[in-house]
Amino acid sequence: MNLVRLTVPVADLTDTEARVLDAVDEAWALDRLRELVAVPSVGGTVAESEAQHLVAGWLADLGADTDVWAIDLVAAATAPDAPGQEVVREEAWGVVGTLGGDGEPGLVLCGHTDVVPPGDPELWGGDPFTPRLADGVLHGRGTCDMKGGLVAALAAARAVAASGVALARPLAVHSVVGEEDGGLGAWATLQRGHRGAACVVPEPTAGSVMTANAGALTFRLTVTGLAAHGAMRDQGVSAVELFGELHTALRAFEATRQSDVDRFAGTALPYGLSIGTVHAGDWSSSVPDRLVAEGRYGVRVDEPVETARELLEAAVAGFCAGHPWLAEHPVRVEWVGGSFASGRLPQGSPLLPAVQRAVVDAGRPRPAERYVPAGTDLRLYAAAGVPTLHYGPGDLALAHGPREQVPLADVVHVARVLALTALRQCTVEA
């Protein structure tokens, strides 16, 4: 096995900072990442909890003060501010490890262990949960979204601990579940009282620093038609054909909502509206009289969730009002599953230049500031008053697909950046 050794450039680093950078261990990070990716921690499965306990053990091995607790799923289902869930869980665990110092952590590093299902296994180059290293790139479900980022955070915490530096304020690592379906773990962690002066969530950012996230809502549409024998379809009204017309109107509505596109990386539709599932009919030779579609709907940065909902409801109602059938049989809109509000780092927060400086000091060009078009846990920490941004290994464009991967060099680089940021946030030089 050949690991990519990174050379730390000459920079204005203190001896302590140089020592912490030298303590980032690529082999340790690769081993932990392989082990974590091999746990098929799809949201709602037993393996989701298995991954959390694995991380808790690693934090304990680092000497962290570790808080491991069973999340109250009843409270998470009934609390008015709970973010919602899209999968059924029998259990869920929160994990927080804290290193050194006193009082409120100077920095929180937060990552999620849950992953989305791998989809068709034939589309992968091998078992999605058997990590494969090729040419310095690790392939497998969860490598970039976001086990690579979580391992980078753990490697950073390990480097700080191994360097022997005394922290004036604690460094905290939050390992959470349920990020992919609403943010259950981050919500529960904040509810438990875990906070910090600042937070970095190392989601994949492809080299940029992401200071805001668009929100996302899950919706359900129910279209009502009129059943008839398939041999006399002109006597019926097909819910499938009605949905085709509605879908065209939704595409036009989606186009009106795109703004600040240049602030987002990798997409021309940062506030996309996507239909994910469609179910219609109950007999092949009958005109279908009912169609149910569910989808995902983007919330603009700084747009209240309630406003976003009202606008989609109005768009559907407006289309129905002008339609000869749907005017009398309007489409029903329901809000189901996860609810991601938008979120942003406060303007002028010193966290942005601090991370940008750490990136340069760790050997890469100063990163551009961008927004992420997906719902993330950033908005939960930001809403709790914790300034938060994203900087992590990998590319979001490869997440949730069969080509998911993360370059090992990116994981190591981000670990160095997080270690430097943690040191500077949590120490006071003598």
Residue 427 confidence (pLDDT): 85
Instruction: Answer for the pair 331, 291: CB distance below 8 angstroms, yes or no.
Output: no
Please tell me the predicted confidence (pLDDT) of residue 86.
84
d(CA 49, CA 41): 8
Q: Give the pLDDT confidence score for residue 59 in this predicted structure.
A: 98
The domain ranges of the chain are: 15-213+342-426, 215-339
DSSP summary character for residue 59 = H
What is the DSSP code (8-state) at residue 307?
A: H
Which residues is 221 bridged to in the sheet? 293, 333
Residue 85's pLDDT is 84
Q: Cα–Cα distances in Å, from 51 out to 9, 127, 176, 407?
A: 35, 18, 10, 21
Cα angle at 295 between 376 and 127, to 5 degrees?
70
pLDDT tens for 357-412 read: 999 999 999 999 999 998 899 999 999 999 999 999 999 999 999 999 999 999 99
**What pLDDT sits at residue 4?**
43
Say what the pLDDT of residue 428 is: 54
Provide the pLDDT for residue 11.
60
User: Which residues of the chain register pLDDT less than 50?
Assistant: 1-10, 429-430
In this structure, what DSSP letter does residue 322 have?
A: T
Handedness of CA 373, 374, 378, 380 (dihedral sign): positive
Question: Residues 6 or more apart from 52 whose CB is under 8 A from it?
Answer: 68, 93, 94, 95, 113, 175, 177
Rounded to an integer, what distance in angstroms lies between the CA atom of residue 278 and that of residue 261? Answer: 29
For residue 27, the model assigns a pLDDT of: 97
Task: Give the domain 15-213+342-426 fold.
Answer: Aminopeptidase (3.40.630)
Name the nearest CA neighbour of 137 among 419, 415, 424, 404. 404
Q: Which CATH class is domain 215-339?
A: alpha beta
Residue 147 in contact with residue 12, Cβ under 8 Å? no
Domains 15-213+342-426 and 215-339 share a fold: no
Q: What pTM does this model have?
A: 0.90
Apex 361 CA angle, 359 and 367, nearest 5: 25
Give me the pLDDT at residue 338, please. Answer: 74
pLDDT value of position 265: 76
Helix axes of 26-37 and 408-426: crossing angle, nearest 10 degrees: 110
pLDDT of residue 116: 96
CB 273 within 8 A of CB 284: no
**pLDDT by residue (tens digit) across 123-173?**
998 999 999 999 999 999 999 999 999 999 999 999 999 999 999 999 999
Could you tell me if 288 and 298 are in contact, meaning their C-beta atoms sit under 8 angstroms apart?
Answer: no
